[in-house]
Amino acid sequence: MRALSRRGMLGLGAGAAAAVSLAGCGGLTGSDDSGHADGSGGDSAQGGSKPKPEPTARPIGDGSTAHTGKQPRQPGRPEPLEPGQTPPQFVVFSWDGAGEVGNGLFPRFLDLAEEHGASMTFFLSGLYLLPESKKRLYDPPNNPRGASDIGYLTDEHVKDTLKNVRRAWLEGHEIGTHFNGHFCGESHGSVKNWTPRQWRSEIDQAKSFVKEWRTNTGWTELPSLPFDYDKELVGGRTPCLLGRDNLLPTARELGWRYDASSPGGLQVWPRKRQGIWDLPLQQIPFPGRGFEVLSMDYNMLANQSLNSTKAPAHNYPGWRKQSAQAYIQGFKRAYETNRAPFFIGNHFEQWNGGIYMDAVEEAFQHIAREKEKGADVRLVSFRQFTDWLDVQKPEVLGKLRTLGVGQQPAGGWREFTGQTATPSGNASRNAA
């Protein structure tokens, strides 16, 4: 797929040294004070009612984006855990790139989220709103002007992406960033070699492509994106999970609230790094194998077909089932034990006959059914999850972090969260 091709994808795997586990990275209305479109305030997971007619937008800059009030379909105000309360099971589905290239995957998963009242995070690649005819506007660090390791979209696909990004935000989803040119590999131009100042340049350009698409395309007939991207953008995921250490100082300077670039994370409660919530892809069970795999479609692919996106079709049914069960078992392990948030990352891709998209939909449906049967499961965006984290007491989060992968709280949740004391120094250290 031209627009979503990937080169040199890297990552850190889990389990046996021989295991391949790569991190691939490559999509209305105002509200009242509750942030919920119908004024109901929603529940503590996400809103779900139909939006009201969109208010008059106040253009920003060239009108590519606009102020339209508070985002619709947001959860009610987050509350701190009460003593003795069981933590909710948070699940975040996220999408790298978030470009619509005519395969219908962006609207497919928007429809799925709509059906179940869920929110997701879409990490938009800024170049997906820049026409190829204007590619020399992009000046990537340590690379030739206009270069990119992902393809530029056709004009029609840029329009489709704009349409779906707009719909996503109006339906309560988060628009983060996957930056621009997706430079991985071992070259000097790889994102892993970028300095904090170069990351700032990349971020500024990613934002400009969103904020100035109307100028760059000349399209005046299309509606604005209904948000202020300077305020909307509070987190991202780096290409191939590379370069995070030099990104974090810049992210903190910009006031970002989280980073989702950590490779090889565990299913435990998160902590901050350099003042930013560290929300990584996680190692999850890989059915039938003696090692774990990162919670992303590309990592399933890497282990099943050794990076081939067009393996023999007779493998597809078994691989699809294995991938779906990996997500489901990851969810089940967290829900039945430490209630650590569960993070899943994917791309709008059709690798190996589209089995990974079918697998993530199967897992999503399974998790949504648990919520609908009464389980305290919250299908949220990264931004919504950080809203919840930020109102929790540091000593409570510190205690939650003492639970390892698959570890149940001693004495049950009522006793565990009813006692707020933590080991000496643990709460203050983990809250940093």
What was the pLDDT predicted at 52? 54
Kindly report, residue by residue over 67-118, the tens digit of the pLDDT. Answer: 999 999 999 999 999 999 999 999 999 999 999 999 999 999 999 999 999 9
pLDDT at 56: 79
Question: 181: which DSSP letter?
Answer: S
Instruction: Return the bridge partners of 277, or none.
Output: 258, 272
Segments in the chain below pLDDT 50: 1-22, 25-49, 421-432
Spell out the domains of the chain, with CATH numbers in brackets.
2-43+58-430 (3.20.20.370)
Number of alpha helices (DSSP H) and beta strands (DSSP E) in the chain: 13, 12
Q: How far is CA 189 from the centre of its chain?
A: 25
| pLDDT at residue 54 in the model | 59
What distance in Å separates the CA atoms of residue 192 and residue 213, rounded to the nearest whole number?
A: 28
Is residue 54 within 8 A of residue 28, CB to CB? The reply is: yes
Question: Among candidates 75, 32, 88, 33, which has minimal Cα distance to 55?
Answer: 32
Rounded CA-CA distance 250/235 in Å is 11
Instruction: List, in sequence order, every beta strand (DSSP E) within 228-282.
Output: 258-259, 272-273, 276-278
- pTM value > 0.75: yes
Looking at residue 426, its pLDDT comes to 40
Helices (H), 373-412: 382-390, 394-400
For residues 15 and 292, the answer to whether their CB atoms sit within 8 Å is yes
Cα end-to-end span (Å), the chain: 42
For every residue of 119-171, which 3-state class applies, written as one string? Answer: CCEEEECHHHHCCHHHHHHCCCCCCCCCCCCCCCCCHHHHHHHHHHHHHHHHC
Residue whose C-alpha is closest to residue 406's, from 344, 359, 336, 353: 336
Strands 89-97 and 58-60: unpaired
